[in-house]
């Protein structure tokens, strides 16, 4: 059952593919903000996935983050999330990211519970005009 307090944790080691240069969010070989955002979303959705009924999933609907410090290639990064609010099918998470030197980012993320097949069909119909 989904309830506040569910925690998530994901980690990665920054590679060249994770950099601002590759993600086109800058010119430096540091963790890209879009990559940190993706890690935050991954941490949130994976934390609640096991609590959903078969065929159900979540999609991101809002992300408010602050990237506070750079992380170079080769350094470990991790992200912790906490489900802070369940409002019908809308889920709100508090998320914090760290590297081996300390906190590098924080924010809030909202996700919406969807029926995956129905959602995918709706998206696919857009191509049909």
- The reply to whether 1 falls in a domain is no
Contact 110, 62 (CB under 8 A): yes
- Number of domain units in the chain: 1
Position 1 scores a pLDDT of 85
Enumerate helices (H) and strands (E) in the chain, giving the number of each.
Answer: 3, 5
Position 128 scores a pLDDT of 85
The catalytic site residues sit at 33, 41, 67
User: In whole angstroms, what is the distance from residue 71 CA to residue 101 CA?
Assistant: 9
Which tokens is 77 given? 């990064």
- The reply to whether 87 falls in a domain is yes
Residues spanned by the domain of 34 = 7-128
Task: List residues bridging with 57 in a β-sheet.
Answer: 114
> Which portions of the chain are predicted below pLDDT 70?
129
Contact 58, 113 (CB under 8 A): yes
């Amino acid at each position: 059952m989904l309830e506040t307090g569910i925690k998530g944790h994901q980690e990665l080691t920054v590679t060249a593919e994770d950099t601002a240069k590759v993600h086109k969010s800058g010119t430096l070989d540091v963790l890209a903000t879009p990559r940190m955002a993706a890690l935050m979303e991954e941490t949130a959705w994976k934390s609640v996935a096991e609590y959903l009924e078969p065929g159900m999933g979540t999609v991101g609907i809002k992300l408010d983050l602050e990237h506070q410090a750079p992380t170079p290639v080769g350094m470990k990064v991790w992200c912790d999330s906490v489900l802070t609010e369940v409002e019908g099918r809308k889920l709100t998470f508090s998320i914090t990211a760290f590297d081996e030197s300390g906190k590098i980012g924080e924010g809030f993320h909202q996700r919406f519970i969807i029926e995956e097949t129905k959602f995918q069909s709706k998206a696919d119909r857009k191509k049909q005009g």
